[in-house]
Amino acid sequence: MDSPILLVDSYAQIYRGYHAVRYLSTPDGVPTNAVFAMAKFLLKLHREHPSRCGAFVFDKGRPVFRMELAPDYKANRPPMPEDLRTQLPVIRELIRAFGWSLVEHDNCEADDLIASIAEAFPENEIQIFSGDKDISQIIDGRVIMLVPNPSGDVLRRGVAEVREKFGVEPGQLADYLALVGDASDNIPGVEGVGPKTAAALLNQFGSAEQMFSHLDEVKRETLRTRLAGEKEHFQRNRKLVLLDRKPPEGTLWKLEDLRRTEPDFDAIRDIADRMSLKSIRKEIDKLAGESGKTEEEDASLFSFHESREPEAGKNAGKETGTMTQMDLFG
């Protein structure tokens, strides 16, 4: 199998960092908490999840077909906080400085783009850094998720983990989500069908299509009657939750577009200085071996191999405030 491709669900990680680190700013009051959290995340990615290929994948609007199906799709989500919005240009600059590509397309959601990239490279292992349950539907023998949890660990989610968490196979997950709904996306489920019932039905029939074709075999009369009246609702939900594995029109995914470049240490240092992130500057200086290193030696320290985590200096992490390792990934 070819080199693994690491894909990051960008906004999921940005929001996680933003909420983990609060009240951090430059001396003149410019918010920097989300930038700091992203810098820590990028450093941790380098140390623990090195990869030569990958990208940070961004939402850019919502797909027209989903909005036509459900005008209130994700309408329950509050707007992005202004103090986070002002940090986005610097966060994007920082990601590029670490050598990562940014992927986004008009009217496309990140999880659809991630699914289409995974589909485009069948010979590569795909590692997806996200906790979005929708992405679990594309997991198979070569596609896995790396899921941050509140304890500070990053948990591997493969086929067995999907089965354990949801009670169904990854290929059944779109049916499962269409039945139970997704409150975070403002998608109401089929009335009276919770996770256990949905899993039991799919294990009994194999798919929702087979279930609706054999409703007479559903034992509980009340459930059978409810399902019969909710078929159109279910079908709409399934179109909403099913990830679109086709690339955006006019797009051809190429592996060379996903290849990482060597980090630009000068650019990273400049961002750290502008944002008054002294501990980040110290970590970068240590990693780059600034003292007495040649430019070639400097670059080799970020050559996509596991590296030993540098010792924290006396003031390292001073800017973290309430942030811990748990917060970074939890």
Burial of residue 76, with CB atoms counted within 10 A of its CB: 0-12 exposed, 13-18 middle, 19 or more buried = exposed
Q: pLDDT tens digits for 248-257?
A: 999 999 999 9
The reported pLDDT for the residue numbered 268 is 96
The reported pLDDT for the residue numbered 1 is 57
Secondary structure (3-state) at 319: helix
| Pairwise CA distance, residues 330 & 320, whole Å | 15
Q: Are 164 and 139 in contact (CB under 8 A)?
A: no
| Phi-psi sector, 74: left (phi>0), alpha (psi -120 to 50), beta | left
Average pLDDT over all residues of the chain: 87
Instruction: Report the percent of the chain where pLDDT is more than 90.
Output: 77
**C-alpha closest to that of 116 among 240, 1, 7:** 7
| Pairwise CA distance, residues 320 & 315, whole Å | 10
Which residues are bridge partners to 188 per DSSP? 181
Q: Are 92 and 102 in contact (CB under 8 A)?
A: yes
pLDDT tier for residue 19 given thresholds of 50, 70 and 90? very high
| Pairwise CA distance, residues 213 & 215, whole Å | 6
The reported pLDDT for the residue numbered 282 is 94
CB atoms within 10 A of CB 307: 14
pTM: predicted TM-score of the whole model, two decimal places: 0.86
| Pairwise CA distance, residues 328 & 313, whole Å | 19
pLDDT value at 123 more than 50: yes
The reported pLDDT for the residue numbered 62 is 87
Report all structural domains of the chain as residue ranges with CATH numbers, in order of start: 2-158+244-258 (3.40.50.1010), 170-241 (1.10.150.20)
